[in-house]
Structure 1
């Protein structure tokens, strides 16, 4: 049995009676030097071992001594952005027992006096700093778990650039230790005089400012995308069409999606931004479009769940995880092959949406509909006109109509 004892925050752990009993009966106690020091005052007879790195070595250690009573020490709350998630993925519940303590976020909120219930926690530890762009909203509260790349000054610089210059930050260092320090900063103060900050800290954030830089709602402006043409033009699905495509796809949390012929990434980026728990694979073969797709991935901060795949489909699809939803926006003359291949990859209940502008593409979609026996089709045509000024007068200029077809794979044969 592995007893996972959360230590909370502070120089000395305040253990519950069950946690003390587990520590006293342990044959092996695993923890870092600092963690072992926090429980040194509690009686125990077990031998100690340093926390190994990487975690694969920890798995070997825990598995090798599985017949013993093992205590694994965990900073803060093991089940809150801690080791608990990794343990639950690698060991059955019958081999684990968890002992709770408060997290660093909970301690920080109590020190500052901010409610926890409406605070979103974002971990930047070991994650790309650009991912923060996809998660921040104006006039919201956040707790940021950071590393050396996401220090308070870097956060302030980002807030300034993203239209949130009136934000307030609380930097909470060495919580629970005699050296504990809580400081409140404005963005301007952090930019003018960057403070020295202890590595052991949590940053609380109240965003505020004029905004207008990062999108807050689906339907991102075309001109905000980098393209292979003029701003808002080029190989990019326009906003109205993009939203209709996503409404037909109906992506869910944990979905794996393919955007085949992704162009500059209009659909893929918006898809990934508003479904952060899904994984989107954008497949594109044209070099310049790929470059713009990568730029948009960074610009909108969807670096954690949007994966750019360079290559021509269907060959480029061979090593990808099987999808539950697929969008075909470009086929390079391979529409028939792509439809059949993607349909075969979908599970029952999966959705495939394809777009067509030419009569030839529409005809191929009709032929595919007639071919499949295990799916249903829904046809939509979108014709958008946008206002322009000509000789001082309003002119509604029509865009090319786009036909969208949603193929839904039945969950049973009929």
Structure 2
């Protein structure tokens, strides 16, 4: 998002609930009465009484790109911005802080819809997971589905509850109990309840939050939190880093919150998908030259709860140009493409990690050379599965995988003293 100069006077950000003016503190009311301009959604502006004489400015759509210009247009004025509930909880406060800086804001929060919902249901807020579907794909919810979990889903509009019920049923969570809480904290507050698989209610008020008590069918797919999802969780044409090797590879890549991965030679997208599943703030790009496989990667990402995966179709290293700077790079295919490893290594900042896997002798020789030049770890991963052998049982060896991993040093010199 574009940034703007800090305003000459603080911008007051007022959290507003469904109870409107009546629910505001005296401090919040005084701030709005003193304002020369108030920016907010049309619904929020309509909740203000006539004694608020400030110019009422509705947010345009799309909202976020318009923030810098709109703030600049009211520079020097006593400006107030209306937000739903707590402005800093999935609210406009974040965008404002990114544009003008936190010091330029005076935030007056109101109880959020999450606080109201937990109070109505008797759910401890610290044990309740919040998933926002405002401006986000419905498949985002999949990542939070686990038996026994309680979820609060921030709805995009009146159609969200039925869409949530349909997704839960499709993912094997049809027995889950839903509570749709509308107009929380206002005079028109109401609650509707039912199971996902037989959701009986038509679309209601667009201002709603969906509470989910997760319950799975006996045959629902088990998707653990740790790396190494079952291979059959992925749609694949065979180009898939297998489960046990994948778990070891993710452990070496070592994702941390907010970090960016390049998954080069995406195949079925499994490495990038499980990187994203590690934390909701992790980011990843999967680069795949084959358009059919690229489409498959996007479908796998949606089915496994991380539709935010960016998929780039094209050959590496050319397709790497312009991508966000990576904290880690995984190369799962195309190792022998001229300049590929060089481009990946050059893109990494100091402390960045590079992990490459191969099953061919030619690529293994290349990784051995990079190990000689840059150090790190070179290892072979071998997995065998028990299979029937006549009336007995024996081991069937999968193709061994050679893996090289290294952390890019701050110095241009290799730890052994060689030039990098």
**1:51 correspondence with 2:59:** yes
Map 1:223-242; keep pairs closer than 5 Å.
Answer: 223-228=232-237, 234-242=238-246
Q: CA deviation at 1:94?
A: 2.8
Which residue among 308, 324, 329 is the counterpart of 1:326? 329
Q: After superposing the two structures, state which structure 1 stretch, 127-136 or 284-293, moved more.
A: 284-293
Q: How does 1:303-342 map to 2 (within 5 A)?
A: 303-304=307-308, 306-331=309-334, 333-334=336-337, 337-342=339-344
1:289 counterpart = 2:272: no
Question: 2:173–2:216: 8 Å Cα contact kept in structure 1?
Answer: yes
1:174-213 to structure 2, matched below 5 A, reads 174-190=183-199, 193-210=200-217, 212-213=220-221
**Partners of 1:249 and 1:140 in 2: CA distance:** 29
Taking the aligned partners of 1:161 and 1:134, their CA distance within structure 2 comes to: 14
Distance 1:119 1:222, change over 3 A: same
Judge conservation of contact 1:386–1:396 (CA < 8 Å) in 2: yes
Q: How does 1:1-400 map to 2 (within 5 A)?
A: 1-40=10-49, 43-55=51-63, 56-148=65-157, 151-190=160-199, 193-210=200-217, 212-217=220-225, 218-228=227-237, 234-304=238-308, 306-331=309-334, 333-334=336-337, 337-372=339-374, 376-400=375-399
Deviates more, 1:345-354 or 1:77-86: 77-86
Offset, 1:149:
8.1
TM-score (norm 1): 0.90
Cα distance, 1:135 vs. partner?
A: 2.7
Counterparts of 2:157 and 2:79 in 1: how far apart (Å)? 32
Superposition RMSD on alpha carbons, in Å?
A: 2.1
User: Cα deviation per residue 1:280-305 (whole Å; 9 max; x = unaligned)?
Assistant: 1111113443343233223213211x
Matches of 2:108 and 2:330, distance apart in 1: 45
Contact 1:256–1:322 at 8 Å: present in 2 too? yes
The corresponding residue for 2:5 is: none
2:156 is paired with a residue of what secondary structure?
coil
Instruction: Report the alpha carbon displacement of residue 148 of structure 1 after superposing the two structures with TM.
Output: 4.1
TM normalised by structure 2 equals 0.89
User: Aligned to 2:206, what secondary structure does the other structure show?
Assistant: coil
After superposition, where does 1:392-411 map in structure 2 within 5 Å? Answer: 392-411=391-410
